[in-house]
Structure 1
Amino acid sequence: MEQWKINLLVLWIGQFLVLAGMTMIIPFLSLYLQQDFGLTDEHEIATWAGIIFAGNFVTSFLFQPLWGKLADRYGRKIMLLRSGFGMAAVMVLMGFAQLPWHLLALRMLNGTISGFSPASVALVSATTPKDKMGFAMGMVQSGAIAGTIMGPFIGGLLADAVGFRPIFYITGTLLFLASLSAMLLVKENFDRAKAKAAPQISVLQGFKEISHIPQLTALFAVTFMIQFALMSPMPLIPLYVQHLHGTAENLAFWAGFVGSVTGLSNMIASPLLGRISDRIGAQKVLGVSLIGAAIMFIPQAFVGEVWQLLIVRFALGIFLGGLIPSVNALIRRYTPDGMESRSYSFNSSTLSLGNVVGPIVGGLISGWIGIEGVFLVAAVLLFINALWVRAVVIGKKELSPRS
């Protein structure tokens, strides 16, 4: 097997395990706080659960650019291993937490040392042939989405089978094995001497330099908007499904199905649309996918049955499957040499920001105009983003310094 394919396969597995590990606690976090930490007040449990879950994304948003800077200087693989082995250790420690603030501190530490995903994307982009870039980006994305979908499901099954604490030990072990596989099998051609000889600039200076490239700014905005639009209605989905379903029977099942069906179609579509982008160009796939995603948010505000919501959200996932692979391929194209990892880290930071801001803003908007308004606001913002992308990325005749 060609080395780039080995890299892609190993990192697909790594992406799956990392994202599954980060989302596996979602189904049982409240119960974990109640049964193992002795919390009894429902408001206190809900508050701690929200803070603990968000803590990972807050520190990830802050520290991703630093790891990107170091990856451009010392190599992507070493940053990938730093993150993988570090998160494996932190995950095991979560199983020993005795107080809620212990779990919060460890989740924040996990976000601080994270960086497996942007390092994986940067490494794959650096080792994959140009004519296979879209397919490779789609595969990496599908691994992340598969982990995000399966994480809560696996976590729920394990919680019933072995209890809460052993889940952290199992997840940490799997992350260690994934990192060990990457250490032994993944190869990177990185000229460290050349990287060290290049002028060294701070994280802030790097951001200023990258932000002066309008194409990259627009692409970072796409990543933020994807997560913002997806996460803003997510906490409200169970209530919306309850409104549509009209009965408590199988409510949890339908709410979970509605929440995961977008990720399922995204996982299927990402490699396929990535392959299409290799043939017709990432700009075209990005443009169509962005408009399609914006359109798919509109009918979600007007559905009358749960099955209608399922169909629309499945279609939404197909369009989303063309967005992140195209964004990653185009970031590689427009980024100056020697700053690839930094660009992907800034992009990962915008994703984490969307994860944090989305639910907060969605809750505020729903308080004013209902959850239907959340879908419509997301559609409007995506349309605006599409016009921005069309103006600075798709509308440009010259592709980039790399084209």
Structure 2
Amino acid sequence: MLEGLLAGFVPSAIALVATNTPEAHAGYALGIMATSGATGGIVGPLIGGVVSHLWGNREAFFFSSGLVLVAALIATFFVREVHVTLKQRSKVRDDLRVAMLNPRFMIVLGISMMVTVSVMLLEPLLTVYVLQLGAAQQDASLSSGIIFSAIGVATVLAAPHWGKIGSKIGYTKVLVFGLVGGGIGSVLQYFFTNLYGFGILRFLYGLFFAAVYPAINALIVKVIEPDFRGRAFGLNQSAVQFANMIGPILGGFLGGIVPIRVIFIMNGAALLLTALYVKYKGLDETAVHKSTR
């Protein structure tokens, strides 16, 4: 529970970048933030595995604590906040009420939860599926870890570029591209029964899906007033954490009643339906909802 309180670092960091970066460069900067998170997701388990192997599992907690301390020191002594708006502290209930009065923000929040559930859906199933594809039992964890991290590697390579593209053509379009590419890529995974082909397809799927989170972050900036952005990113992070809990539970439940390959079809269909909703529902990026003033 105490570790969970550290989740506040992420929305604060994103809000800090969003509110202190010139609007013309906000998309690229948020793309870099997404890339940083993906890089940590790739490198973290690898470093943790090495530390645990060399010194033990308990010692890995000390190592992790040291990294958190370094991050805190960097944020304290090196980060400079240019646009500071100090207001009376709000209540969570009031923030939720304001958020619900902004339909565009609620749409973005729902999409954020949807795509996070989509990613986490396969976490409890991937190792089992890798075994079904023919991986040796002693290598299943390593193989599934590499395949799962393929999306993270793709995000590192593609997310900053999607941020730049979004600043030119609009983040709603980029979000649709990412959802459509992710949906098609997920459906195609049903047909790949070769371990290496499956891993390559996961990487290609990640190149498109890498557009989603930078676009969501940028859209939050677009549809929310500056003085509410920090709280908006906090609410978004809470939604993501809730989806992180729902995704594996739902994936495990579905994996017990249908073949894992079928879940790729269901996952892809959900992403494509979300893309259609965004496409035809539309998100006005130019106007900010007045209720957040």
TM-score, normalised via structure 2 length: 0.92
Q: Among residues 213, 216, 239, which one is paired with 2:105 in the alignment?
A: 216
Query: Is the Cα contact below 8 Å between 1:291 and 1:383 reproduced in 2?
Result: yes
Query: Shift of residue 239 of structure 1?
Result: 1.1
Query: Shift of residue 238 of structure 1?
Result: 1.0
Q: Which residue identity does 2:37 align to in structure 1?
A: A
Between the aligned partners of 2:12 and 2:282, the Cα distance in structure 1 is: 24
Q: Which residue identity does 1:158 align to in structure 2?
A: V
Between the aligned partners of 1:132 and 1:232, the Cα distance in structure 2 is: 33
Between the aligned partners of 1:332 and 1:343, the Cα distance in structure 2 is: 9
Query: Is the Cα contact below 8 Å between 2:135 and 2:143 reproduced in 1?
Result: no
Query: Shift of residue 279 of structure 1?
Result: 2.1
Query: Shift of residue 391 of structure 1?
Result: 3.2
Partner deviation per Cα, 1:6-47 (whole Å, 9 max, x = no partner): xxxxxxxxxxxxxxxxxxxxxxxxxxxxxxxxxxxxxxxxxx
Between the aligned partners of 2:135 and 2:167, the Cα distance in structure 1 is: 45
SS at match of 2:125: helix
Asked if residue 178 in structure 1 is aligned to residue 71 in structure 2, the reply is yes
Q: Among residues 124, 127, 130, which one is paired with 1:235 in the alignment?
A: 124
| Aligned residue number for residue 362 of structure 1 | 251
Between the aligned partners of 2:224 and 2:193, the Cα distance in structure 1 is: 45
| Aligned residue number for residue 333 of structure 1 | 222
Within 5 A, what are the aligned runs for 1:271-350? 271-350=160-239
| Aligned residue number for residue 265 of structure 2 | 376
Range 349-358 or range 370-379, more displaced: 370-379
Query: Is the Cα contact below 8 Å between 1:232 and 1:359 reproduced in 2?
Result: yes
| Aligned residue number for residue 165 of structure 1 | 58
Query: Is the Cα contact below 8 Å between 2:147 and 2:202 reproduced in 1?
Result: yes
Between the aligned partners of 1:181 and 1:272, the Cα distance in structure 2 is: 26
Query: Is the Cα contact below 8 Å between 2:18 and 2:221 reproduced in 1?
Result: yes
Partner deviation per Cα, 1:305-345 (whole Å, 9 max, x = no partner): 01121122101211121111111011011013421111111
| Aligned residue number for residue 121 of structure 1 | 14
In structure 1, runs of 5+ residues without a counterpart are 1-107
Between the aligned partners of 1:191 and 1:183, the Cα distance in structure 2 is: 15
Count of aligned pairs between the two proteins: 289
Between the aligned partners of 2:147 and 2:281, the Cα distance in structure 1 is: 35
Between the aligned partners of 1:202 and 1:180, the Cα distance in structure 2 is: 28
| Aligned residue number for residue 287 of structure 2 | 400
Q: Which residue identity does 1:147 align to in structure 2?
A: G
SS at match of 2:133: helix
| Aligned residue number for residue 98 of structure 1 | none
Query: Is the Cα contact below 8 Å between 2:135 and 2:195 reproduced in 1?
Result: no
SS at match of 2:259: helix
Between the aligned partners of 1:178 and 1:202, the Cα distance in structure 2 is: 28
| Aligned residue number for residue 268 of structure 1 | 157
Query: Is the Cα contact below 8 Å between 1:218 and 1:392 reproduced in 2?
Result: no
Between the aligned partners of 1:132 and 1:310, the Cα distance in structure 2 is: 33
Within 5 A, what are the aligned runs for 1:41-120? 108-120=1-13
Query: Is the Cα contact below 8 Å between 1:214 and 1:392 reproduced in 2?
Result: no
Change in Cα spacing, 1:214 to 1:390, as seen in structure 2 (3 Å) is farther
Q: Which residue identity does 1:231 align to in structure 2?
A: M
| Larger gyration radius, structure 1 or structure 2 | 1
Q: Which residue identity does 1:135 align to in structure 2?
A: Y
Between the aligned partners of 1:191 and 1:211, the Cα distance in structure 2 is: 25
Between the aligned partners of 1:203 and 1:389, the Cα distance in structure 2 is: 28
| Aligned residue number for residue 277 of structure 2 | 388
| Aligned residue number for residue 3 of structure 1 | none
| Aligned residue number for residue 148 of structure 2 | 259
Q: Which residue identity does 1:215 align to in structure 2?
A: R
SS at match of 1:338: helix
Query: Is the Cα contact below 8 Å between 1:296 and 1:315 reproduced in 2?
Result: yes
Change in Cα spacing, 1:187 to 1:258, as seen in structure 2 (3 Å) is same
Change in Cα spacing, 1:345 to 1:235, as seen in structure 2 (3 Å) is same
SS at match of 1:369: coil
Change in Cα spacing, 1:391 to 1:270, as seen in structure 2 (3 Å) is same
Query: Is the Cα contact below 8 Å between 2:7 and 2:237 reproduced in 1?
Result: no
Between the aligned partners of 1:129 and 1:246, the Cα distance in structure 2 is: 48
In structure 2, runs of 5+ residues without a counterpart are none
Between the aligned partners of 1:214 and 1:387, the Cα distance in structure 2 is: 18
Change in Cα spacing, 1:267 to 1:129, as seen in structure 2 (3 Å) is same
